[in-house]
Amino acid sequence: MKFTVATAVTALSGTTLAHGGVTTYIIDGKKYPGYDSTQTDTEQRDLIQRTWCMTPLSDPSSGTITCNDKGTTVPGAYHASVTAGGTIRSNWTSVDGYGWPHSTGPIVAYMAACGDDCNNITNTASLKWFKIAEEGLRDNYAVGDYEGWFQYDLWESQITDHWDIVVPKDLKPGRYMIRHEIIMLELDPIQFYPHCAALEVSGEGELVPSEEFLVQFPGEYVLLFFCFHSMMGLAMLIACQNYTVPGPKVWTGA
Ligand SMILES: [Cu+2]
């Protein structure tokens, strides 16, 4: 039975053009359009999101793993205001306007302190990220069972078209980059979909994460451990009942 599920995963997701990303944010109730990766010839302006390419990324040691390719700011780039404790909604769609095209693998979100201005940062590899949210494999599912993943809920917007996360309520105010990422495990090689945007956090918080929570991209991900490297093939993924979401522990501020 489980083999049937895996075959279906491949059949659903195997089209080469089925890629996408975060196309809209809703932050503290306000809507922010994302970069349109289908319109690379026209100049886009006044976005919080950095530029990205619809071609998926498969090398976590590349500089593009941080904020996608090219991961640059557009003219007029600014910071979205959010209160610590406020909600950030990311809408995930394919570039052709349909729902998210993949089903299997985790979704994560990181933040990094920017200093004075996130949009002045050109070397995103220098940022120190802390994880604020993750959705891994649900209990009693194997890696190859697509219903075991929140990513499946996003697949073709069947169950939802967005992921809501909360900015840690005790986080010290300031300017922060947010990095959302879906990791797609059902094809070989696996694919990474990172997206960065600039935030201005307000509130009464006084905390920042300690060193043990901070990581850098590239650097944090290595295609090594069991159930992460899809070279093992879907049969191995199906057999694997445990999946640890890569990266550090989530920092809640508590
Ligand atoms: Cu894709």
CA of 90 to the centre of ligand 1 (A): 17
Q: Could you give the angle at the alpha carbon of 119 between the alpha carbons of 118 and 122, nearest 5°?
A: 95
pLDDT tens-place string over residues 23-82: 999 999 999 999 999 998 889 999 999 999 999 999 999 999 999 999 999 999 999 999
CA of 102 to the centre of ligand 1 (A): 6
CA of 26 to the centre of ligand 1 (A): 23
Contacts of 73 (CB under 8 A, 6+ apart): 50, 51, 119, 198
CA of 227 to the centre of ligand 1 (A): 19
* SS3 assignment, position 230: helix
Per-residue pLDDT, averaged over 174-201, amounts to 94
C-alpha torsion sign, points 68, 69, 72, 74: negative
Report how far residue 89's alpha carbon sits from residue 85's, in angstroms, rounded to the nearest whole number. 13
CA of 23 to the centre of ligand 1 (A): 14
CA of 157 to the centre of ligand 1 (A): 15
Return phi, psi of residue 233, to 5°: 90, 160
What pLDDT score does 35 carry?
97
CA of 193 to the centre of ligand 1 (A): 9
| Closest C-alpha to 118, from 69, 67, 155, 56 | 67
What pLDDT score does 143 carry?
84
CA of 171 to the centre of ligand 1 (A): 34
List C-alpha distances in Å: 118 to 69, 115, 122, 181: 17, 7, 9, 18
| Strand spans (E) along 144-232 | 162-166, 174-184, 191-202
CA of 231 to the centre of ligand 1 (A): 17
pLDDT tens-place string over residues 222-245: 775 455 444 444 445 555 777 888
Specify the DSSP element, H or E, that contains 234.
Answer: helix 233-239
Confidence grade of residue 6 (pLDDT, cut at 50, 70, 90): very low
Per-residue pLDDT, averaged over 170-180, amounts to 98
Fold of 2-239: Coagulation Factor XIII; Chain A, domain 1 (2.70.50)
